[in-house]
Structures are given as C-alpha cells and as structure tokens.
Structure 1
C-alpha cells in the first residue's frame, strides 16, 4: 500500500528546466516511478543532453523548447502537451537562474527584472497555464522549486533579488495551494540547500564562501540532485495526498540554526 502511493504509473509529467541538474534528476525519479516525462528547457543543447542521459537509463523522454518568461509560449505548451497525452497530471516548475554576488544597492534594473522574470514569473506562468487544465479535470499535482534562500538570507553572498524571488515562490505555492485545494489540485514546494549541480557547484571551491556555508550546515555537506528529486517525487505522488501549500526544506539541516 505505502510503496504503491509513491508510484505515478501512467501519469504524464512536464518539467521546466529539465535538461540538467535538479530538473533532470526529477525526470529520472518520475520515470522510475512509472510516469511518462516531458523535459523542457530554454535551448536545444540542454534538451538533447538531458534526453541522451535519460535514454542511457532506458527512458524515452519527450522534449519541449520553452522560455518560461514568455507566458503565451507557456500557455501554448500546456495546450499542446495536454492534447498530445490527454492530460498533464504533474508539473514540476523547476526552471530558474542565479546571479553573481551583488550588493543590494548595485543590482542593475535589467538584472533584477531578468531574475524575477525567470525565478518568479516563470513559475507563476507555468502553474497558471498547466493548472488551468488540471482544474478543468479536477485533479493534478504541482511541485515548485523554492530555496533555503526563501527562508533565510544567505551569507556571505549578497543576492537580494534571488532571495526575494524564492520567498515569493514559497508564498505563491501557499496561495495557489489554498485556492485550489478543494478543486483537486495540490501545489507544494521543495526548498533545497546548496546542491551539486552545474548552476551551483562552480562556487564550491571558493574559499570565501564554502567554509561559511559548511559551518552553517549541520550535516557539513551539500545535497545531491537525487536527494532533491526524491522529495519532488514524494510531493508529486499520492504519498503526499494530504499535503498542499507546503514548503519542504531539503537542506542538510541548514535552516535549523
């Protein structure tokens, strides 16, 4: 009974930012649990490398070129993939970017707008457009990707724009989770710590940052993509059927202190 709740057999999953990192790991987890998975990303090279990785594991992913900052394109993708598969049952709104250490008083307008556009607006457009179809059917599960940066203000790096976007994703998750709870659609969020992905691991050799991050982490390590993907699978599946609007830190203990 309990292991069966973790399975998503026959369900269709759409993952934004699915070409690498957490998105790709979550694709593998959901495939293993029985789903059919569409990975989307912003360029063909990421899609092809992600598709090839999954093929090497024995999984045949569909791919979709998508810029989540373009709401009309997100709406078109939701329409297309719901028609192709009859339904998209699970959305993993994972696409996001980070930005180099920048003092709050020096963040350029364009940089602020770009980060908010990807990390917050892109999550909302994805939830809105795929959510419409789920609400029409009266069922669906959405997992957003937040961050410990939405719960605390990181140090020593200065990243007010990133922290603000991720905090907003957490509250968006709670807001939509509350609105859609009695209409059959659950919305939950995973809030990772520093994860060994291409977006993050270039900083792991930085002597000005890494010792501080590890000193603040009870487990004294970063997380692996599969550890985040395991939480995504849990929230996507019926194993979490009584949960909505929840933000789940997967942080090696970072937010304890």
Structure 2
C-alpha cells in the first residue's frame, strides 16, 4: 500500500498544500492542425474512428486496399461534418489513398503520397486487419501468412515509415495500434489461433516501440476492442444467433460494443490529453478480459 507523505512537524498544513498546476491554455483533447492517417479506414472501426478524429479538429488520410470505397467515404465524412457543424469556419481535409499494407513498396508509396497532399503526418492509427476461423490443424499456411502480413507486418511497416518522417521533422507524434482483446485472452467457441497470436504481437509491438521511440517524443499505444457490433459482425450473428448468445453471455456489461465507443479512446490517445501515456493497452471490451 502507498501512503501519502506526512509533512514535517515544523511545516504548517497550509504551506504544505501543493499549488494547483496551471490550467492548459488550449483544449488538450483537440486535434487541431494535426494530420492523422488511418489504415483500414474505409469501413468498420477505422471509418468510425476517422469520423471521431475529424470532429476533434484533425485532417485525415484514409488508407485502404479498396481505393474507390475510401474515396467515397471522404465525401461522406466531409458532408457529415458540415451537417453537424453548420457554423464551422474550417472544413477538415480528408483524402483517400490505396495501399496493400503487407507490401513494403506499397506502404512506402502511400506514405509519400500522403505527404505530398498533406505536407506532414502527425499521427497514425493502424486499423487494417482481419480474422478467420479455422481449426489450427486445417489452417492453410498461405492464409496464415496473409493474415500476419496484414495484421502484424502492416502495422510495423506503417509505424516505422511514419516514425522516420517524424524523426526527420524532429516532431512529436502519437500512434495508436488497433489490437484486440484476443491478444490477451482465447476466444471461444470459434477457433482463431493465428489471429489471436497476431493481435498479441500488435500489442507487444506497441509496447516495444513506445520504449524505443520515447527519446524522439513519439508515443505508441494500443486499443484492444472486445466484441464490436459492426455491420459485418451483425450480419454474421444474425445467421448464427447461438454464437451471439455465447459471446454476450461472457461480457459483464451484458452487451456488445458499438464502434462509436472507440471514438473517445482513440481521440484521447492521439491528443495532448495523454501526453504522459505511452506503451499502454486500453481494453474496450465491456469487462470481458477482467473475468
């Protein structure tokens, strides 16, 4: 147990009270004047987090394997921002970029394209990833390599590419890797061993790079979502109601999460409000991994 310090006998109580720190002159949760890159940003969790960061003031580069979908979402995001902020004096710049995150040349070209259009990159969210359900003894090795190429290699290559840019600018930055509670627990009843292992790798990548890049003032954190009710997940569960019951029965809050519940955590970790937070893993799972 840690106890509060006791003031010396010759020091009065009033003189020992700590002076309140100065309140920041700006909103520490704002992302004004930041350029945020989100991989896998054209759909699902990445798209919703993109919506969150532009409403916090950031410009956004959406990276996705499907360029046409990413391009369509840029218009939707800007239109949604204008509708919700009719008196806004500044409209966020949102651009679309294609990349195969598992291919080094594609990643390098994508980062160069983003820099040519935005001039800089301040923050990165690595949301590109996927899962599959195979019994381990039946999982084709080529599919395992593809899964790891996207989930792990893609996270690593985008992170190191953006870090090089930040170091060349001698600029601080913040990265958020999207892991999963599957990196800490074993999901049941579905078999997904390689996916679980890939997300454990993502979580440890965040911790390791946070330490390695702390000297450069580049923060790296991880968000590990639990079961989220995306459009794709909802479609699957509508066809398998028993699976949904199996999942929800293990969640202390008694429900699945919705993608909008990731807006707050990602904005916090990208903003100055979390300036002393690095190497952390924030689990957004309704308490699943606690029990």
- Check whether TM > 0.5: yes
Measured after TM superposition, the shift of residue 20 of structure 1 is: 1.2
TM-score by length of 1: 0.95
CA shift, 1:60, in A, is 4.5
Tell me the CA shift for residue 197 of structure 1.
1.6
CA offsets per residue over residues 126-152 of structure 1, 9 Å max, x none?
101111111222311111100000010
Gaps of 5+ in 2: 1-22, 83-91
Cα distance, 1:200 vs structure 2: 2.5
* TM-score, normalised via structure 2 length: 0.84
Where relative contact order (Cα < 8 A, 6+ residues apart) is larger, the structure is 1
Name the stretch that deviates more: 129-138 or 166-175: 129-138
Asked if the contact 1:75/1:130 (under 8 Å) is kept, the reply is: no
Query: Which residue does 2:3 correspond to in 1?
Result: none
> Which of the pair has more CA radius of gyration?
2
- Where in structure 2 are the equivalents of 1:125-144 lying within 5 Å? 125-136=157-168, 137-144=170-177
Match of 2:71 in 1: 48
Indicate whether 1:69 and 2:113 are aligned: no
Q: Partners of 2:56 and 2:109 in 1: how far apart? A: 27
- RMSD of the alignment, in Å? 1.5
Tell me the residue number matched to 1:150: 183
Quick one: structure 1 residues 48 and 81, their matched pair in 2 at CA, closer, same or farther if it must change by over 3 Å?
Answer: closer
**Does structure 1 retain, via aligned residues, the 8 Å contact 2:97–2:114?**
no
Structure 1: gaps of 5 or more residues: none
Q: 2-side partners of 1:181 and 1:161: how far apart?
A: 30
Q: 1:208 aligns with which of 242, 247, 253?
A: 242
Cα deviations across residues 3-53 of structure 1 (Å, max 9, x unaligned)?
Answer: 811101011111111101111111111111111111111013321332232
Q: SS of the counterpart of 1:63?
A: strand
The total of aligned residue pairs comes to 256
Consecutive aligned runs of 4 or more in structure 1 exceeding 3 Å deviation = none
Whole-angstrom CA distance in 2 between matches of 1:192 and 1:236: 17
CA–CA separation in structure 2 for the residues paired with 1:154 and 1:45: 34
Map 1:101-250; keep pairs closer than 5 Å. Answer: 101-136=133-168, 137-205=170-238, 206-250=240-284
SS at 1:177's partner residue? helix
